[in-house]
Amino acid sequence: MPIATDMTLEEFLENDLEGYEYVEGELVPMSAASIVHGKISVRVIRYLDAHVHRNQLGEVFTAETTFRVGERLVKPDVAFASTARVPEDETKGFPIPPDLAVEVISPTDTQWDVSEKVQAYLDAGTQMVWVIDTVLQTVAVYRPNTDYKLLKGGNTLNGEDVVEGFSCQVAQLFE
């Protein structure tokens, strides 16, 4: 359950509280990650970070990193920010949204909550969101002002113009 707080968005960004996101004046506890959630997140990081590092495109971040997404401060399971968008002061959370946000659906997530979060990312300027469903073994790819794509096992997940040159088979995330 969310917890009402008098903490401002800026105060949360300065003093990040582990295990919480900040949404419209409330502290929202993050769901505990299951084993499968952790495995999928690590696989995304493994493939994405290797490509980003090799091609010097920017940085990949884990779920401990806070990003400002409109009037929210959220911690995507995995995120990418291009080199030009990584702030000089790396001692605080990001004052901007990531270029790519990856959300791995948890058993406690509702469709409403996931959809609302995807829309918040896109409204704030995130260029691409991947929502990974560990039960259906699919990846939904969301972009601003376009229809989403649903990818399954044999399909290729790619970074399009956000993480240029990145690709992997969806099935690789679930092996």
| Token pair recorded at residue 131 | 């929502």
Query: 33-173 has which CATH code?
Result: 3.90.1570.10
Q: Which residues contact 23 (CB under 8 A, 6 or more apart)?
A: 2, 71, 72, 74
Helix or strand or coil: residue 128? strand
Q: What is the pLDDT of residues 130-151, one digit of tens each?
A: 999 999 999 999 999 999 999 9
**Cα(139)–Cα(151) distance, rounded to whole angstroms?**
5
Nearest one of 38, 33, 170, 48 to 100, comparing CA atoms: 48
Q: State the pTM of this model.
A: 0.88
Least confident range from 16-20, 75-79, 81-85, 150-154: namely 16-20
Q: What is the pLDDT of residues 102-138, one digit of tens each?
A: 999 988 888 988 999 999 999 999 999 999 999 999 9
Nearest one of 172, 175, 173, 13 to 77, comparing CA atoms: 173
pLDDT score for 97: 96
